[in-house]
Amino acid sequence: YLDDIIYSPNLLPAEHKAASQLLRLITKEDPESSKVDLDLLLAPPMSPSKESIETLSALEIAEQMTYLDHQIFVAIRSEEFLGQAWMKTDKATKAPHIILMTRRFNEVSQLVVSEIVRR
């Protein structure tokens, strides 16, 4: 669709430039340097923090949890969904990010339950 727009004679120069930039952005592959190391991201902190779930705002907690979930989600490759690879014996090698997402879901669910019961 953007290819058609770029070659349209009715475009103003600024619109042509914007469409060209959008097409380049959409088709450009992500560089390796922008990839996040999930193991490092999900590792517990090296030193204890004075912050706790009670001292942080609900918005801050939600933002951080969503960021972590997003990083895991975008790391899932389409091949991990083939043949329910996450259910097989070699799931750790065939679907590592689906397994990680499942584990994260279970951990967050457990956190929510424990916070509800604790109060």
What would the pLDDT profile of 42-62 be if each residue is shown by its tens digit? 777 787 777 777 888 889 889
Phi (first) and psi of residue 7, to 5 degrees: -90, 5
| CA pair distance 22, 2, nearest whole angstrom | 8
Q: What is the pLDDT of residues 62-107, one digit of tens each?
A: 998 998 898 889 889 889 998 899 999 999 899 999 999 999 999 9
Measured distance CA(17)–CA(21) in Å, rounded: 6
Residue 79, classified by CB atoms within 10 Å of its CB into exposed (0-12), middle (13-18) or buried (19+), is exposed
Question: Which tokens sit at 78?
Answer: 């389409």
Identify residue 11 by its one-letter amino acid code: L
Q: Is the pTM of this model over 0.85?
A: no
Please check the confidence at residue 34 and state whether its pLDDT lies above 60. Answer: no
Distance CA 105, CA 111 (A): 10
> Which pLDDT band holds residue 26 (cuts at 50, 70, 90)?
low
Banded pLDDT at 119 (limits 50, 70, 90): confident
If pLDDT is split at 50, 70 and 90, which confidence band does 33 have?
A: very low
The Cα 67–Cα 51 span in angstroms is: 18
